[in-house]
Amino acid sequence: MKKALLVIDLQNDYFPDGKFPLWNTEKTLDNIEKAIFKAESNNVPVIIIQHIADISQGIAPFFNEGTEGVDVHPRILKATPNGNVVIKSYADSFYKTNLDEVLSEFGVEELLVCGMMTQNCVTHTAISKSAEKYSVKILPDCCTTVNEHIHLIALRAVSTRIEFVNSEEVL
């Protein structure tokens, strides 16, 4: 089954000097870097999902276009300099984006989903109506959010619908 690694919202605003720093970002970043290297060495396409706030909705607290915070973390860009980037403005990475077309070009059947924030963009993408045609797995060791409790609650909430795999085992 042809896989793709979706790396969601690894953007500067979620890191210590950003507008909305999350819990456990360094460990999560390390794990995602390792997952990217494994994916690329196994010819698994890496799709970087970048959230840019919709200016028509007013200024957002973070991820505003033209700010340093909206940029994808430099270590992610370095890990996959040729990675495909999909721009979104909703929690669901499929909604009003070209993600499905990009996946189709690669002949993808299985999605390995990781990123930030677990309870929001990660889970909304994993359970998207548009994701139903794929075998979807979340890599919990490659996800984070505001704190460990919310991370674990989000994973528990989606556990009846989505399989979890450790990044070390799946790539």
pTM above 0.85, yes or no: yes
pLDDT digits (tens, 9 = 90+) for 7-31: 999 999 999 999 999 999 999 999 9
Q: Tell me the HSE value of 151 on the side-chain side, using a 13 A CA sphere.
A: 20
The CA-atom distances, in angstroms, between 37 and each of 65, 66, 148 are 28, 29, 26
Note down the domain range covering 131.
Answer: 3-170
pLDDT digits (tens, 9 = 90+) for 26-72: 999 999 999 999 999 999 999 999 999 998 888 899 999 999 999 99
Q: Which CATH number does the domain housing residue 19 bear?
A: 3.40.50.850
Query: How many distinct structural domains can be found in the chain?
Result: 1
Cα–Cα distance for residue pair 145/42, rounded to 1 Å: 28
Cα–Cα distance for residue pair 148/158, rounded to 1 Å: 16
Residue located via tokens 């919990």 = 140
For 125-147, b/e burial (b = at least 16 CB within 10 A) is bbbbeebeebebbbbbbbbbbbe
**How confident is the model at residue 55, as a pLDDT?**
86
Runs of H (alpha helix) within the chain = 25-41, 74-79, 99-106, 123-126, 148-158, 167-170
